[in-house]
Amino acid sequence: MPLRTRRLGAASLALAALAGFTVSLLSAQPAAAADPLRTLAAAKGKFIGTAVATSPLANETAYRTIAAQEFNQVTAENAMKWDSTEPNDNQYTFSGADQIVAFAQANNQIVHGHTLVWHQQTPGWVQSLSASAMKTAMLDHIATVVGHYANNPAVQSWDVVNEVFDENGGFRTSFWYNTLGSGFIADAFRAARAADPDAKLCINDYNVEGINAKSTAMYNLVSSLKSQGVPIDCVGFQSHLATQYGFPGQLTENVARFAALGVQVRFTELDVRIVLPADTTEINTQNQYYTNIINACLASTACPGVTIWGFTDKYSWVPDTFPSEGQALIYDANYNAKADYTAIATALGAGTGGGDTTAPSAPTNLTASGTTSSGTTLSWTASTDNTAVTGYDILRAPGASGGTFAVVGTSTSTSYADSGLAASSTYRYQVRARDAAGNVSAVSSTVSVTTLSGGGGPGGCSAVGTTQTQWPGGYVIQPVTVTNTGSAQITSWTVTFTLPAGHTITGSWNAVLTVSGQTVTAKNANYNGTLGAGASTSFGFQVARPTSDTALPSGYACAAP
């Protein structure tokens, strides 16, 4: 019997409630094959959510039942938008929003607030305000709407700004941007934090799932906001996918680069539309896209969960916007679960007795080498697992003690080169392993790294490599010019650089080279280590490479103790 038919009964829902069916997102309990999506997701430490609309929530039992049984997170599809909550200046109405929050609380669901500052569904009175009045209206709106739910434990996160980029990575020339400039973004986040210090605050957009101009603009903005101390906690990849456009490229790498900034990555509005009529190939593609997104979330500790933009094709936004497209959701218009439902359940571990719940062993023998003024290379001994280790998270904390470890990158090998570090600074690193089911090992022991002093002060140096000649199969780098950029004499120097894979050093002069993986360390010879302030020396080397390869070394960095 199909799972969903059995689960639609009101009686079974009541029984589940009597049995104390509660959400614990971090439950480690294995889920059984017939479990609803929310139970499967919770067993993985994730949420699985849906957008909900007020009208069917009030009027249709089947809609309510599925929304309650299958999901442990909800987002208001429209009810928390500006035109719903503040249609006229300073006249707030929370009836629809409160209806959804009450439903969530009754069903042990968490709520994501959507959305505070957007160029759509914002009343005309806001759009025509002067700059100072618009800013005041924005800050007041955020304070009031976020404040309304600040003491409600169900409401845990907000889309603070929505869709602020155009497709080329420029700021969207919305009335917000045109009137206030890009500063409205930081102002909005600060206001939201002031209104609810505990809520996770997100920036949300579409077509940012893969690596492209728009997602790179988003990355640069989040990076810049973080460096200015603007309170931002999460990035929402809306994930309105379409089978005719292919799956977003480099999704995993994109998730990892945002995770390395220390923000969560959420899939906030997932759906996969098809040009109608849908054929089997398109439906299979759609199943695969749903699977891919769930897997991407399972594979990243930065991803707390996935929200689908509704669940039934009966109420999808897609046909309204793209009249020849549809069937984008996981239930059909008659509330029958589609193959997409099964794809998601399977990705979440259904049918495997709860899936693999055995975590890999912790990585051991974590060491750092090749430390320069701005980077270091970590290596460790591989973890073991009952299935297979799929990758490692690299965690870093600032300083010799205290601070918080945050994921700064991932690796699928047993080494990782970290870069962008401050000179003369101490960092601590740990590594943990992941498997395909999303199980995460304990962290390794901690290794502490102190970077060398950089240029500018006493003992700084720089290195610039010049390609003297190259041919199919090899090249000569001469000179690598080492300059004392500090204000005092140095008595030794160390240059590091990265050798492309498959290249072999066949000779060197005026320095002592050692190679570890792709990192080459060149130390001064016994006759050219001493350089007065501003003085230079040089060394060189020759390399063999595959004849088809034109790559050259990169990342020259110099350190002088």
Catalytically annotated residues: 163, 269
What is the rounded distance in angstroms from the CA atom of residue 119 to the CA atom of residue 551? Answer: 46
- In the complex with ligand 9MR, which residue's Cβ is closer, 95 or 120? 120
Helix axis angle, 10-18 relative to 61-70, nearest 10°? 40
Which residues contact residue 362 at a Cβ distance below 8 angstroms, ignoring those fewer than 6 apart? 383, 432, 433, 441, 442, 443, 444
Q: CA dihedral in degrees (127, 130, 131, 137; nearest 10)?
A: -60
- In the complex with ligand 9MR, which residue's Cβ is closer, 103 or 317? 317
Residue 70 CB, shortest distance to ligand 9MR, in Å, is 19
- In the complex with ligand 9MR, which residue's Cβ is closer, 322 or 405? 322
User: Which residue of 50, 65, 73, 78 would you call a contact of ligand 9MR, by CB under 6 A?
Assistant: 78
- In the complex with ligand 9MR, which residue's Cβ is closer, 238 or 415? 238
Question: Which residue is closest to ligand 9MR by CB?
Answer: 317
DSSP per-residue string spanning 192-238: HHHH-TTSEEEEEESS-SSSSHHHHHHHHHHHHHHHTT----EEEE-
Q: CA dihedral in degrees (247, 258, 50, 288; nearest 10)?
A: 20
Size of the site for ligand 9MR (CB under 6 A): 8
What is the rounded distance in angstroms from the CA atom of residue 7 to the CA atom of residue 373? Answer: 60
Residue 414 CB, shortest distance to ligand 9MR, in Å, is 41
Q: By CB under 6 A, is residue 238 in contact with ligand 9MR?
A: yes
Question: Taking CB under 6 A as the criterion, which residues in 428-467 touch ligand 9MR?
Answer: none
Residue 249 CB, shortest distance to ligand 9MR, in Å, is 21
Question: Taking CB under 6 A as the criterion, which residues in 135-164 touch ligand 9MR?
Answer: 162
- In the complex with ligand 9MR, which residue's Cβ is closer, 109 or 268? 268
Task: Report which of 162, 219, 206, 167 is spatially closest to residue 185, judged by C-alpha positions.
Answer: 162
Residue 114 CB, shortest distance to ligand 9MR, in Å, is 6
Which residues contact residue 123 at a Cβ distance below 8 angstroms, ignoring those fewer than 6 apart? 82, 83, 86, 87, 88
How far the first Cα of the chain sits from its last, in Å, is 71
| Burial of 5 (C-beta count, 10 Å sphere; 0-12/13-18/19+) | exposed
Q: CA dihedral in degrees (511, 515, 518, 521; nearest 10)?
A: -40
Residue 307 CB, shortest distance to ligand 9MR, in Å, is 11
Task: Report which of 462, 451, 452, 454 is spatially closest to residue 534, judged by C-alpha positions.
Answer: 462
What is the rounded distance in angstroms from the CA atom of residue 300 to the CA atom of residue 78? Answer: 29
Mask for 489-528, x = binds ligand 9MR (CB under 6 A): ----------------------------------------
* φ, ψ at 481 (rounded to 5°): -90, 120
Question: What six digits make up the tokens of 428?
Answer: 């601590």
- In the complex with ligand 9MR, which residue's Cβ is closer, 58 or 488? 58
Residue 51 CB, shortest distance to ligand 9MR, in Å, is 7
Residue 455 CB, shortest distance to ligand 9MR, in Å, is 46
Residue 240 CB, shortest distance to ligand 9MR, in Å, is 6
- In the complex with ligand 9MR, which residue's Cβ is closer, 269 or 393? 269
- In the complex with ligand 9MR, which residue's Cβ is closer, 162 or 521? 162
Positive or negative, the Cα torsion across 549, 554, 560, 561? negative
What is the rounded distance in angstroms from the CA atom of residue 222 to the CA atom of residue 233? Answer: 9
User: Which residue of 29, 121, 173, 446 would you call a contact of ligand 9MR, by CB under 6 A?
Assistant: 121
Question: Taking CB under 6 A as the criterion, which residues in 329-388 touch ligand 9MR?
Answer: none
What is the rounded distance in angstroms from the CA atom of residue 179 to the CA atom of residue 135? Answer: 9
User: Which residue of 5, 22, 120, 506 would you call a contact of ligand 9MR, by CB under 6 A?
Assistant: 120
Mask for 246-275, x = binds ligand 9MR (CB under 6 A): -----------------------x------
Q: By CB under 6 A, is residue 77 in contact with ligand 9MR?
A: yes
Q: By CB under 6 A, is residue 70 in contact with ligand 9MR?
A: no
Tell me the C-alpha to C-alpha distance, in Å, between residue 80 and each of 94, 464, 522, 551: 8, 55, 59, 52
Residue 53 CB, shortest distance to ligand 9MR, in Å, is 7
- In the complex with ligand 9MR, which residue's Cβ is closer, 78 or 410? 78
Q: Is the backbone of residue 36 left (phi > 0), alpha (psi -120 to 50) or beta?
A: beta
Kindly list the residues in this chain that would bind ligand 9MR in the complex (CB under 6 A). 77-78, 120-121, 162, 238, 269, 317
